[in-house]
């Protein structure tokens, strides 16, 4: 598929899901607020945010309930219009379908889920070993089926660790070759694997946004883009807005987490209000995954998290 047509279709589809949720929010809210009215303690449903923030399982377990579907309904009433779920591939098929049906009913968007064994220290793509590539490609095929159930279009890939007995250029070539094969599986289904550079350990092959940008350009597929995790990139490269700007045309997804602590915005050193304002000015219509913890436990902490997002989202 031509790159331009692919990206236009993907962007229109994503924008349609998001704007539909915004345009019909008041109408849906009157019908759906019954889902969580008891758990919300009579609190009126809140309007959508300016940006499309995605909750994850456990984030609202005290106010929404232990079941992820109930948390999704609670989050909807609090103004959130998307979810992400790293472990979606490992959930039973019936549970995947139930989550997908709930999102469709509420007009919410599905963010990333991690591609099963999409690359890690045990099967690093930098090694160039066929057995590792086969595991990765099996995960790509599985991602197609998972995406159908949840109406998702984004799956996270981490290429794994360095293969330090090989020259860096050879490692990079091995990663590019494997990703091209994965893109061939995903592209016909308009699914995008988003490459995530991490700060967890210096052994990880993918470390910075410019390195990820270079790989995406080399793969040369609309199904291979960047997941820019702001928490990890603050630790690895800093200068966030400039680095986002450099790589923006290859970025398909953002994740959030303040540093230090990896909790909600306003709890660390990152000025998220400025970052959200910048992304809004760039016309970003995609999802921002809330991949962080709550700085305060319990119900009080969940309400503090919502307030932090309201404060940081108040940039217009």
Residue 220: which CATH number? 3.20.20.150
Residue 262 Rama label (left phi>0; alpha psi -120 to 50; beta):
left
pLDDT of residue 119: 63
Tell me how many domains the chain contains.
1
Taking 70 as the pLDDT cut, the residues of the chain under it are 1-44, 118-120
> Which structure tokens are listed for 278?
């910048």
pLDDT digits (tens, 9 = 90+) for 165-176: 999 999 999 999
Q: What is the pLDDT of residue 44?
A: 64
The answer to pTM > 0.85 is yes
Residues 131-186 have pLDDT tens digits of 999 999 999 999 999 999 999 999 999 999 999 999 999 999 999 999 999 999 99
Query: What is the predicted pLDDT for the residue at 43?
Result: 55
Instruction: Encode 49-76: b = buried (16+ Cβ within 10 Å), e = exposed.
Output: bbbbbbbbbebbbbbbbeebbbbbbbbb
Q: What is the DSSP letter of 248?
A: G
Instruction: From 302, 241, 229, select the one nearest 271 (Cα to Cα).
Output: 241
pLDDT recorded at residue 32:
40
Domain interval for residue 37: 3-313
Q: Can you list the alpha helix ranges (DSSP code H) found in the chain?
A: 3-23, 25-32, 61-64, 68-77, 93-106, 130-150, 168-186, 209-219, 230-236, 240-247, 272-281, 298-313
Which pLDDT score, from 0 to 100, does residue 123 have?
Answer: 84
User: Tokens 């790509």 sit at which residue?
Assistant: 140
């Amino acid at each position: 598929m031509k790159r331009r047509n692919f990206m236009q279709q993907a962007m229109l589809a994503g924008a349609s899901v998001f704007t539909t949720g915004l345009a019909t929010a008041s109408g849906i809210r009157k019908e759906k607020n019954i889902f969580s009215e008891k758990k919300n303690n009579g609190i009126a449903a809140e309007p959508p945010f300016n940006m499309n923030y995605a909750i994850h399982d456990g984030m609202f377990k005290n106010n929404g309930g232990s079941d992820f579907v109930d948390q999704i309904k609670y989050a909807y009433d609090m103004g959130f219009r998307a979810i992400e779920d790293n472990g979606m591939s490992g959930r039973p098929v019936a549970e995947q379908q139930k989550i997908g049906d709930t999102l469709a009913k509420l007009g919410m968007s599905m963010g990333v889920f991690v591609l099963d064994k999409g690359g890690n220290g045990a099967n690093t793509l930098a090694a160039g070993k066929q057995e590792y590539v086969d595991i990765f490609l099996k995960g790509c095929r599985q991602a197609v089926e998972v995406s159908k159930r949840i109406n998702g279009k984004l799956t996270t890939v981490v290429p794994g660790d360095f293969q330090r007995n090989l020259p860096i250029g050879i490692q990079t070539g091995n990663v590019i070759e494997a990703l091209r094969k994965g893109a061939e599986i995903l592209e016909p289904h308009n699914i995008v694997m988003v490459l995530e550079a991490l700060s967890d350990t210096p052994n990880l092959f993918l470390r910075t946004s410019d390195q990820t940008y270079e790989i995406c350009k080399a793969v040369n597929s609309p199904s291979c883009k960047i997941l820019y995790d702001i928490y990890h990139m603050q630790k690895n490269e800093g200068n966030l807005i400039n680095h986002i700007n450099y790589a923006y045309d290859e970025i398909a997804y953002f994740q959030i987490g303040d540093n230090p602590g990896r909790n909600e915005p306003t709890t660390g050193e990152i000025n998220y209000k400025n970052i959200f304002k910048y992304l809004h000015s760039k016309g970003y219509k995609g999802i921002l995954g809330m991949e962080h913890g709550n700085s305060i436990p319990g119900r009080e902490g969940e309400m503090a998290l919502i307030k932090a997002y309201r404060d940081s989202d108040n940039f217009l």
